[in-house]
Chain A
Amino acid sequence: GAVVSQHPSRVICKSGTSVKIECRSLDFQATTMFWYRQFPKQSLMLMATSNEGSKATYEQGVEKDKFLINHASLTLSTLTVTSAHPEDSSFYICSALPSGRAREQFFGPGTRLTVL
């Protein structure tokens, strides 16, 4: 089956620093990847759609300068949380949509970010 990995799984950082999260599709190519944010016991909120070789599309209310997304290859998308603050602490999950296939998205295991 299709596998998506995320790295790191957990990260703790100081306020003001930047954190990069990687999302990789391990056994398939993904033209499109998605980044979600999930607060405890809440639903997944779509942050942005990442398309290989082009700029990401951000959802309303999501600051593109705050959450930098790069989708440099068909198997890798990165999310960088810049100048992180405690309110950015959350569970960040990516998903990947296999190129040319049906609409099923495969989710990564998530990254737990804690900003002190």
Chain B
Amino acid sequence: GQQVMQIPQYQHVQEGEDFTTYCNSSTTLSNIQWYKQRPGGHPVFLIQLVKSGEVKKQKRLTFQFGEAKKNSPLHITATQTTDVGTYFCAGVFSGGYNKLIFGAGTRLAVHP
């Protein structure tokens, strides 16, 4: 079946360290989206990647979409305490009609 896998499940970093979460799909995706959910909150859209090999940056966050459109890492440079939360990738499969299949999420803890 269509699955989106995400690792690691948890990551603890010291403030200032870098952080990467990896998202992988069982099959080729139409597009991939990233969301952030703060504790007690709801998912908030971060970005969408559509093109093979695409790279997008938002300040200290770098998002990539693999050449085969099956994987997507999210990298945060020099983490800050405001980066705390769970980062979810969500894939849309071809013919999926905008239906998002979420990865398990990576919970990031940043120690000051």
Total count of chain B residues near the partner, CB < 8 A: 22
> By DSSP majority rule, is chain A's interface helix, strand, loop, or mixed?
strand
| Distance, CA A43 to CA B107, complexed state (A) | 11
B contact residues around A109 at 8 Å (CB): 41-42
Decide: B88 and A43 in contact? CB cutoff 8 A. Answer: yes
A contact residues around B33 at 8 Å (CB): 103-105
B101 touches A (CB below 8 Å): yes
| Distance, CA A34 to CA B42, complexed state (A) | 14
Interface residues of A in 90-115 (CB under 8 A from B): 93, 95, 97, 102-110
Decide: B45 and A93 in contact? CB cutoff 8 A. Answer: no
A77 touches B (CB below 8 Å): no
- What 20 additional pairs, Cβ within 8 angstroms, besides A93-B42, A103-B48? A36-B102, A42-B105, A43-B102, A43-B104, A43-B105, A44-B88, A45-B102, A46-B100, A46-B101, A93-B43, A95-B43, A95-B100, A105-B33, A105-B45, A105-B98, A106-B45, A107-B42, A107-B43, A107-B44, A109-B42
Q: What would 25 A/B residue contacts be, using CB atoms closer than 8 Å? A: A32-B98, A34-B99, A34-B100, A36-B102, A43-B88, A43-B102, A43-B103, A44-B43, A44-B88, A46-B99, A46-B101, A46-B102, A49-B99, A93-B42, A103-B31, A103-B48, A104-B45, A105-B45, A105-B98, A105-B100, A106-B45, A107-B42, A107-B44, A107-B45, A109-B42
Binding site for B on A (CB under 8 A): 32, 34, 36, 41-46, 49, 93, 95, 97, 102-110
Binding site for A on B (CB under 8 A): 31, 33, 35, 41-45, 48, 88, 90, 92, 97-105, 107
